[in-house]
Copies of this chain bind each other. A is one copy, B any other.
Amino acid sequence: MIVPIFFLFSLLFSSSHGAIQDFCVADYSAPQGPAGYSCKNPAKVTVDNFVYSGLGITGNTTNLIKAAVTTAFDNQFPGVNGLGISLARPDLAPGGVIPFHTHPGASEIIIVIEGSLCAAFVSSDNKVYLKSLKKGDTMIFPSGLLHFQLNAGKNNALFFVAFNSPNPGLQLVDYALFGNDLATELVAAASFLDPAEIKRLKAVLGGSG
């Protein structure tokens, strides 16, 4: 005779408050804290909170950088909240580039899926780590360092990027310097760039001042 023991489970766990928390799916309607979004009630969590299809769509590269970045960060993909990881998908047309940028506080690892890349990061003692990457190659970009990826090939390039943060951020040097209202003279003083060049790039990137 088979005696069911499934009642054991309630013996093992007689929690008075709430469900077991193996995850913390983002509840965008509740307060956010330093560790991420508040958790959705586990009883309302479904598998769809852990699945995201946005990275399956080719980005639109008909822009000046001939590139697009589609992200699966915690503000789009609620399942990664609090789990210390996220993904993104850069598409680059020939000549496309993800210009010099940093991810504040997250390391990045990439895998090339289509085409080829010229990629580099610069260490804080000013050395350049530059490499041509082909399909199947992986490269690691240490946390917080300036880097870029460029499609020097004749075909589209596609790679995937993983970050060890659900919210790695992305700071593009060009936008930080030229895409806002920071006065040209201050940009010049803090970058040694020629004021005329700054004004030229402000016009291109929508900045003023």
Q: Beyond A13-B71, A22-B145, A164-B164, is A52–B126 a contact (Cβ under 8 Å)?
A: no
Q: Beyond A16-B76, A71-B13, is A56–B191 a contact (Cβ under 8 Å)?
A: no
Is A156's CB within 8 Å of the partner chain B? no
Query: Which of B42, B75, B81 meets A34, CB within 8 Å?
Result: B81
Q: Are A103 and B144 in contact (CB under 8 A)?
A: yes
Q: Are A193 and B189 in contact (CB under 8 A)?
A: no
Number of copies: 6
Q: Are A109 and B82 in contact (CB under 8 A)?
A: no
Which residue on B lies nearest to A15, using beta carbons?
B75
26 contacts between A and B (CB under 8 A): A2-B204, A4-B206, A5-B204, A11-B68, A14-B76, A15-B71, A16-B76, A20-B124, A20-B167, A22-B144, A33-B82, A34-B35, A34-B39, A51-B131, A55-B111, A55-B137, A57-B136, A72-B138, A83-B143, A99-B191, A105-B105, A105-B143, A120-B186, A127-B180, A160-B160, A194-B197
Interface string of A91-116 (1 = CB under 8 A from B): 00000010110111101110101000
- Tell me which residues across on chain B come within 8 A of A179, comparing CB atoms: 6, 9, 126
Q: How far is the CA of A207 from the CA of B6 in the complex (A)?
A: 8
Given A122-B171, A144-B171, A162-B162, 16 other A-B residues pairs in contact with their CB atoms under 8 A = A5-B205, A22-B125, A22-B145, A31-B38, A32-B38, A35-B35, A46-B129, A52-B137, A54-B138, A55-B136, A80-B109, A99-B192, A122-B180, A143-B144, A148-B190, A174-B192
Q: How far is the CA of A131 from the CA of B53 in the complex (A)?
A: 12
- Tell me which residues across on chain B come within 8 A of A143, comparing CB atoms: 22, 83-84, 104-105, 144
